[in-house]
Chains A and B, each alone.
Chain A
Amino acid sequence: MSEREFWPEGVERCELGKFLAWLGFISIFLLWGLYGAYKVLGTGIGVTALDNYFGFGLWITFDLAVIALGAGAFFSGFLRYIMRIDELKNIINLAVIVGFLCYSGAMLILVLDIGQPLRAWFGYWHPNVHSMLTEVIFCITCYCTVLIIEYVPLILENRQIAKNRFCHHLAHNFHVYMPLFAGIGTFLSTFHQGSLGGMYGVLFGRPFVYREGFFIWPWTFFLFVASAIASGPAFTMLCATFMEWITGRKLVSYETKKLMGKIAGLLLCFYMFFKIIDTYAWANGILPGMGLTFDQMYNSAFGYGKTWLWLELFWCGVIPAIMLVTPAVRERPALLYLAAILDCVGIVINRFVFTVQALAIPVMPFDQWFSYFPNWAEWSTSLMIVAYGFLVMSLSYRYLPIFPQERALNR
Chain B
Amino acid sequence: MGLDRRSFVALVAGGVVGSLATPVVWKTLDDISIWSQNWPWIPRLRYGEESLVPSLCKLGEGAYGVQVKLVAGHPVAAYGNPEHPLSLGGICPLGAASVQLLYSPARVKNPKKRVNGAFVDISWDEAEALLAEQLKAAGAEVALVSGDDTGTAAEVLAGLVAALGSQESYFMPSEGAAAAAAVGLLGGDGLVGYDVEGANFLLLLGADALGSSGTMLRNAKAVAAGREQGVRVVAVGPVLTATAAVADAWVPCKPGTEGMVAMALASLIVESRPDGKVPGLADFRKQVAAFAPDKVAAATGVPVETLRSLAKELLSASKPLVVPGTAAGQGMAVSDAAAALAVNVLLDRVNVPGGVMLLPWGPKVVAAAPDQKTMLARDVLGYLAKVAAGTTSAPKVLLVHGANPAYALPDLKTAQAALAKAGFVVALSSFMDETAAMAHLILPDSLTYERYDDAYTPYGSGQANYTVAAPILKQPLFATKAAADVALSVAARLGKELGFASFEEVLKAKAEALGADFETAATGSVWLGSEFVPQKLSLAKVPAPGAPHGSETTVVAVAQPKIGSTKIATPPFGTNGISPRELQGKDMVVAMNKTTAAKLGVRAGDAVTLSGAGGECRARVRVFEGVVDGAVMAPMGLGHTAWDAFSRGKGANVFQILSAQADVGGASRFATSPVGVRKA
Contacts and interface: CB of A to CB of B under 8 A. Distances in A.
Interface of A: 116, 118-119, 121-122, 125, 165-166, 169-170, 173, 176
Contacts of A173: 3, 5, 8
* The 3 residue pairs across chains A and B that have the minimum distance between CB atoms: A169-B3, A173-B8, A118-B36
Interface residues of B, number: 11
A125 B36 CA distance: 15
Given A166-B1, A169-B3, A173-B3, 16 more contacts: A116-B36, A118-B32, A118-B35, A118-B36, A119-B33, A119-B36, A121-B29, A122-B33, A125-B29, A165-B1, A165-B2, A165-B3, A166-B3, A169-B4, A169-B8, A176-B5
Nearest to B31: A118
Contacts of A119: 32-33, 36
B8 A170 contact: yes
Interface string B3-14: 111001000000
B584 to A, nearest CB: 14
Nearest to A174: B8
A170 B12 CA distance: 11
A184 to B, nearest CB: 14
A170 B32 CA distance: 34
Contacts of B2: 165, 169
Main secondary structure of the interface of B (DSSP, over half): helix
Nearest to B3: A169
Contacts of B35: 118
Nearest to A167: B3
A121 B30 CA distance: 11
Contacts of A165: 1-3
B6 to A, nearest CB: 10
Contacts of A118: 32-33, 35-36
A118 B29 CA distance: 9
Contacts of A121: 29
Nearest to B32: A118
A283 to B, nearest CB: 32
Contacts of B4: 169
| Chain B CB within 10 Å, residue with most, of A121, A125, A165, A173 | A173
A127 to B, nearest CB: 15
A217 B36 CA distance: 34
Contacts of B32: 118-119
Contacts of B8: 169-170, 173
B3 A170 contact: yes
Contacts of A125: 29
Nearest to A168: B3
The winner among A116, A118, A125, A176 for most chain B CB atoms within 10 A is A118
B492 to A, nearest CB: 55
Contacts of A169: 2-4, 8
Contacts of B3: 165-166, 169-170, 173
Interface string B567-590: 000000000000000000000000
Contacts of A170: 3, 8
A150 to B, nearest CB: 14
15 contacts: A116-B36, A118-B33, A118-B35, A118-B36, A119-B33, A119-B36, A125-B29, A165-B2, A165-B3, A166-B3, A169-B3, A169-B4, A169-B8, A173-B8, A176-B5
B38 to A, nearest CB: 12
A17 B8 CA distance: 39
A166 B2 CA distance: 6
A176 B12 CA distance: 15
Nearest to A122: B33
Contacts of B1: 165-166
A119 B39 CA distance: 14
Nearest to A165: B1
Contacts of A116: 36
